[in-house]
A = this chain, B = another copy of it.
């Protein structure tokens, strides 16, 4: 990929260095007979992915892509394919979603997840949900039930359930519960070489609120069990609270953590899918920040913030799907998923996404008081294009453009088309010298899918 580093020219953006990556055109193989097409792009979070764990993050992204493609090839709905990818991502102990999620201040797991169907424009979401292994399955079931129309006595079916009520609804709809001790202390899949779970959370610089300062971060130790991690995190939080009363000690601590070259991981997971008919779907799932307040709901549960999917229509030349990751409060206040989806109707997807990340995210007036703006998105857009000269007349070509962009130090992605033998994975990083929270990385590609004309 050709990389080009430049300065943005927009008003108020003079301090933002933009990294422009020219997309590589990924020509895919011809489709196999009797197998349906489609494309999936997944992420294992925008945050920080160390080189030492890159292999594990890539592996789970690869498996998630394969699960979605298997569904698409079997003719499943885009929403079912995106759910299959998310289930795989949630089941990994390396991601902060589903099993092994970050624990809140009370040592409990509370998950957020949502899904959107670009065809029906329906949405399902759960927030602060405990005791269910795959929160995305509950979100997808809410979406499906919502599509069946009104409940008895004309009651409107819910699209967003939280807490104990969400748990009861899930169990009532046949989704098995999972004891909290299994979710919090699960051992890593025996195929994996280590039994580790990383717990990190962002530590801001001291109280003055000016922008442009580097975010200092404390790295939490790796260990095998999330409950032990929680206890260690709590002790470190108590220490931090004592330390922060003494600015000199705090400064020393920050310098020390900067030397370790660590950063915060905000490893929400998500996926976007387009099926062989051009229908899109998007989903997102998160365990939220470590030591969050119980009951806190982040962007992964919120309409317009965590994911967005919208098929082509009268006013939309493109079908679009978006999934976000990062600091929930930043993604909520900018309604970033929907913002990206709207921007992607412009002619140049790459430029539109870059401008959105700069103007509507980093420079958003809604985040003017933040030290740094941390997030990432994966997006795809697709449209039917005229058959190429060498194509047979009973084939349609679906042009899929896919991109990822982040302001965090790194973002782990994977992608695969039904015509590929295996998924490609990548850990995208800000270039050396770029400052997390103030710079944008953007990369992507193009995929052409051929499918029989219906």
Residues of A within 8 A of B (CB): 11, 104, 110, 120-121, 123, 127-128, 149-150, 152-156, 158-169, 201-205, 207, 209, 216, 218, 236-237, 240-241, 244, 289, 291-298, 302-305, 313-314, 327-329, 332-333, 335, 338, 365-366, 368-369
Copies of this chain in the oligomer: 2
A365 in complex: contacting residue of B110, B209, B313, CB < 8 Å: B313
Say yes or no: B161 contacts A164, CB within 8 Å: no
> Are A236's CB and B158's CB within 8 A?
no
- Contact yes or no, A295 B169, CB < 8 A: yes
Contact present for B335 and A153 (CB under 8 Å): no
In the complex, the 4 A-B pairs of residues with the closest C-beta atoms, listed nearest first: A165-B295, A154-B203, A163-B163, A165-B294
A128 x B335 contact (CB < 8 A): no
Given contacts A289-B156, A365-B313, contact A162 B295 (CB under 8 A): yes
**Chain B residues, CB < 8 A from A167:** 295
CA distance A120 to B209 in the complex (A): 13
Pairs A–B under 8 Å by Cβ, sample size 25: A110-B165, A120-B369, A123-B332, A123-B333, A149-B209, A150-B207, A152-B237, A152-B241, A153-B237, A153-B244, A154-B203, A155-B201, A158-B292, A160-B332, A161-B293, A161-B296, A162-B163, A162-B295, A165-B295, A168-B294, A303-B305, A303-B333, A304-B335, A335-B335, A335-B338
- In this complex, what residue of B is CB-closest to A156? B329
Within the complex, which residue of B158, B302, B332 is in contact with A293, where a contact is CB–CB below 8 Å?
A: B158
Which residues of chain B have C-beta atoms less than 8 A from A294's C-beta?
Answer: 164-165, 168
Q: Give bound CA distance, A167 to B162, whole Å.
A: 14
Of B120, B164, B201, the contact of A154 (CB 8 Å cutoff): B201
Q: Give complex CA distance A333, B123 in Å.
A: 8
> Chain B's nearest CB lies how many Å from the CB of A308?
11
CB of B335 within 8 A of CB of A158, answer no
For residue A203, which residues in chain B have a CB less than 8 angstroms away from its CB? Answer: 153-154
**Chain B residues with CB under 8 A of A292:** 155, 158
Residues of chain B with a CB closer than 8 A to A333's CB: 121, 123, 159, 303
Could you list 11 further interchain pairs (A-B, Cβ under 8 angstroms) beyond the known A154-B205, A154-B240, A168-B294? A121-B333, A149-B204, A153-B218, A153-B241, A154-B203, A155-B292, A158-B329, A161-B295, A161-B296, A162-B162, A304-B335
> Which residues in B have their C-beta under 8 angstroms from that of A202?
154-156
Q: Are A244 and B335 in contact (CB under 8 A)?
A: no
Contacts of A296 in B (CB 8 A): 158, 160-161, 165
Flag if A152 contacts B329 (CB, 8 Å). Answer: no
Q: Do A153 and B201 touch (CB < 8 A)?
A: yes
Taking the closest CB of chain B, its distance from the CB of A286, in whole angstroms, is 13
Give every chain B residue within 8 A of A121 (Cβ-Cβ).
Answer: 333, 365-366, 368
Is there contact, CB below 8 Å, between A295 and B163? yes
Point out the residues of chain B lying under 8 angstroms from A127, CB to CB.
127, 162, 297
Contact of A162 among B297, B313, B368 (CB under 8 A): B297
> In the bound complex, what is the Cα–Cα distance between A294 and B153 (angstroms)?
17
Given contacts A241-B152, A335-B303, contact A329 B297 (CB under 8 A): no
CB pair A303 B329 closer than 8 Å: no
Of B123, B162, B240, B329, the contact of A159 (CB 8 Å cutoff)? B329
A169 to B295, CA, bound (A): 9
Closest Cβ of chain B: how far from A310's Cβ, in Å?
8
Closest residue of B by beta carbon distance from A335: B304
Q: Return chain B residues, CB-CB under 8 Å to A304.
A: 304, 335
Query: What residues of B have a CB within 8 angstroms of the CB of A110 in the complex?
Result: 165
Q: Please give me the residue from chain B that is nearest to A128 by CB atom.
A: B162
